[in-house]
Homo-oligomer: A and B are copies of this chain.
């Protein structure tokens, strides 16, 4: 691999890795944590699944590249992506030396987005994290790291807001935590903490049409990332 680089106004050829971005996109669906995967249609990784990703262009920052790639490959836009880690093993892409700057983000529900396919990526799907298919590159590792980061951030940020709709019940919120953390939480303690944290506030409304006592609806006080 060769990098041709303008330095001191001369065209200078240097050899170096190519730079890609990959996005780990989580959502909740049917009581499961899922991740967005794309099926590769040809080349050495044919029929394997991968994260949406692509090469970084010269005229875009890494953050911009992550957003662009995600939008181009999946039609998902306008979400907050956070840089996760940069993966640089020699053999992570058998076709050549490529390092990947991985990003992760959460989206509220798969049905809110119309994903699309491309000639190179023939299928696109939300795959349960517990049941990942055969993955291309080191993408399984990237997903595992992203999940670990997500769990950690649950504890000290309001990051879940992007997984939930505008209005939700405390039980919805608790289920979200339980699914991601993979463990049961105590209802009374959870509610105490959430209400006291003042990350959420009552809407005054109740959820109707279910054959039980109606649950109060809450909203997030602010729909942007905050430390608790």
A side interface size, CB within 8 A: 39
Tally of this chain's copies: 2
In the complex, the chain B residue whose C-beta lies closest to that of A21 is B88
Report which of B1, B96, B101 forms a contact with A88, defined as CB distance below 8 A.
B101
| Cα-based distance from A89 to B62 in the complex (angstroms) | 7
Interface 1/0 per residue, A1-38 and B, CB below 8 Å: 11111111000011111110000000000000000000
Q: Does A41 contact B (CB under 8 A)?
A: no
| Cα-based distance from A4 to B5 in the complex (angstroms) | 11
Q: Does A142 contact B (CB under 8 A)?
A: no
- CB of B86 within 8 A of CB of A101, answer yes
Report which of B5, B62, B89, B101 forms a contact with A96, defined as CB distance below 8 A.
B5
- Mark out the residues of chain A between 125 and 155 whose CB falls within 8 Å of any chain B CB in the assembled complex: none
A2-B4, A8-B43 as given contacts; A17 in contact with B99, CB under 8 Å: no
- CB of B6 within 8 A of CB of A4, answer no
| Cα-based distance from A86 to B176 in the complex (angstroms) | 30
Q: Does A95 contact B (CB under 8 A)?
A: yes
Most buried by B among A3, A57, A60: A3
- CB of A62 within 8 A of CB of B90, answer no
Q: How far is the CB of A141 from chain B (nearest CB, A)?
A: 14
A4-B2, A83-B86, A86-B86 as given contacts; A62 in contact with B16, CB under 8 Å: no
| Cα-based distance from A130 to B8 in the complex (angstroms) | 32
| Cα-based distance from A17 to B55 in the complex (angstroms) | 10
Q: Does A59 contact B (CB under 8 A)?
A: yes
Q: How far is the CB of A154 from chain B (nearest CB, A)?
A: 16
- Mark out the residues of chain A between 83 and 97 whose CB falls within 8 Å of any chain B CB in the assembled complex: 83, 85-86, 88-90, 95-97
User: Which 3 pairs from chain A and chain B are nearest by CB?
Assistant: A2-B4, A62-B88, A86-B86
Q: Which residues of A contact B (CB under 8 A)?
A: 1-8, 13-19, 43-44, 55-63, 65, 83, 85-86, 88-90, 95-99, 101
